[in-house]
Structure 1
């Protein structure tokens, strides 16, 4: 039985790592309620604004591959420190971008360095835990980070109630400074020099080839990626669907969006409870069927133009499936990848953002006054 001190220590450590994990959601979610305002500022259309989201998702994807690999070669702490400094700078540049095109490029760079928080925190967890303990700790981490979708859109809404969308990126720049200080003060190196891989480029390619050819690893990675792509389609389309089609205010949109954090929180808590009591592959199967049924519900509600509450409930249920699949798929995929945890964590991380970068602009392809593209992207056969 775990001691009380051990539980407190794990919680404290998880809270610290959760701050770094939160960098991705804050980078993606915090400016969502500002989409119509940004469209007006740059005198552009919805698809171009959504492309800025795509750019940040691509940055988060590519960044995880590059920074995850660097963390296997040079350790976890140094790449994390430099990335947090660069996050501060790119956030400032985003705030004062002179055009939508430059803003899109800067969003890519911001996402690229933000990826360090995601990929390195997961690699640190794998450095320190394995087996059931890995499942429990990662579920605990997911539980804590599930609060981020509650906080990030609300924080963005609060900031824009006092200032313009520019204030959102000033806020993220301050977050970058805070995380730089945390890295210097609290983060210890978890990958000893004798466990690091060679910087030989050929060997790095071989490592990724072995991961890609590993059917078990890629199976879990692809399933998690496909579920996440549905979540990102919702993230991209919901600002226009809720505000333009259903006429809700930016503040109400933020509250509706934040509800999904509760679903993630409950689902990840369920995984933590079931870990050690049920075969993890059974938990994974339950999560997959749950995602299938709830995505079908979303499609039906949109096709039949259901009321706002029906859409909110169905999307809440679908997004909660990620709390199950995200936690357990990470554990199952990472079971035998301890020697290249950074690279494996990067590959696990890149697929959701890469697929999300494809689905995000498709949601707005028919304009900002229809939800049909979102319904089609939620079509269950994709699972």
Structure 2
């Protein structure tokens, strides 16, 4: 795949994590500005997850019917305008509503980027490309909280959303000028009225839905960490907002390094092989995290060790779950990508909301939700393997 297209797809895929991670250091500030608490500010994060989950179901059929470019250009423009609305928010309710609309626009990049990879690559190559995209995407969790903290202290919280506005405007230009249409002109036209039926078919595809849910549960654990870490790091352990990005970014660095290792691993064994094995290591790290959080250590570093392991595992789990789910979905890659992403972020929204609901002034709620997600991911991985064998579906 040409480097130019890979960079554009990486930027589009980064919309989700960038719009999440960039404003995390501002949670305590937003709580003071809008005269509320951090738990209510977390609703803006949950609203974003809900928008991602719902919006993807719309863009999938549109991408199969009208091609990849047009829905993408519309979605990126919507994200740009909603980011500006966030910067102008006068109340928490305004911010929550604008974040929801922002997600409806941003999810276009996530849906279409997966569909473009499926258009251009076979399953093994897809796993490699998704791993490479993790390198581009992974820079967002490293740079975004650090940059967000600096902007917060220098120019105030609205500047964070102004930067998102400018970033999305540049992405729109990149798509308009350099991203070609990848849906083959000879591909059968997918009528919009058949979208619901296509989603029903995908729900009946055991291997697809199993891999999608395995990846969704894994990413839900990451978003439980995203939702809980501002309180744990900044409020509980006193990490300055401007230094939050360094702590957050160290975990993202592990994610990036393992994702690049995965690109090498899948050339020796398929993505399903590594997915089934890594999910167990994810569970072990999550169990250690619960054990340490239960003891309420006086220092932060004991928590950071199993957290690093949990987030690093995602560098293998996410690209391989995506590649395994998208294998064999060529004609309807847009709808498959949409349902995949929608399921993942619906679970992520639930996990983020659950962290807020269980808030008790400690790190334990975050750890328990991560562990619950890891446990269910192991169970779903086992069920998916059973479904593949029963259907005679070869594991890639």
Q: Which moved more, 1:219-228 or 1:10-19?
A: 10-19
**2:275 aligned to 270, 284, 306, which one?**
284
Q: How does 1:122-141 map to 2 (within 5 A)?
A: 122-141=114-133
Residue 364 of structure 1: SS of its match in structure 2?
helix
Q: Distance in 2 between matches of 1:279 and 1:133?
A: 10
Post-superposition offset of 1:13: 2.7
| Pairing of 1:216-255 with structure 2 (within 5 A) | 216-255=207-246
How many angstroms does 1:143 deviate by? 2.5
2:65–2:192 Cα contact (<8 Å) kept: no
Secondary structure in 2 matching 1:194: coil
1:85 & 1:275 partners in 2: Cα distance? 36
Contact 2:8 2:171 in 1 (8 A): no
Please give the alpha-carbon distance, in whole angstroms, between the structure 2 residues aligned to 1:296 and 1:309. Answer: 16
Q: Partner residue of 1:101? A: 93
**Residue number in structure 2 paired with 1:5:** none
State the Cα deviation string for residues 86-145 of structure 1 (Å, max 9, x = none).
111111111111211121111111011001111111111101111322222222222332
Match of 2:186, SS? helix
What is the aligned partner in structure 2 of residue 110 from structure 1? 102
Asked if the contact 1:241/1:371 (under 8 Å) is kept, the reply is yes
Structure 1 residue 149: Cα displacement: 1.0
Cα distance in 1, alignment partners of residues 375 and 321 from structure 2: 20
In structure 2, list runs of 5 or more residues that go unmatched.
Answer: 378-396
Q: CA deviation at 1:352?
A: 2.0
Alignment of 1:194-343 (within 5 A): 194-201=186-193, 203-306=194-297, 307-343=299-335
TM-superposed deviation, 1:270: 1.6
Q: TM-score, normalised by structure 2?
A: 0.91
| Equivalent residue, structure 1, for 2:160 | 168
Instruction: Report deviation, 1:185.
Output: 0.7
Query: Which residue, 375, 386, 396 being the options, matches 1:381?
Result: 375
Structure 1 unaligned blocks of 5 or more: 1-8
Give the whole-Å Cα distance in 2 for the aligned partners of 1:95 and 1:69.
Answer: 31
Aligned to 1:178: 170
TM superposition score normalised by structure 1 = 0.94
Query: 1:87 is matched with which residue?
Result: 79
Distance 1:138 1:39 in 2: 36
CA deviation after TM superposition for structure 1 residue 181, in Å: 0.8
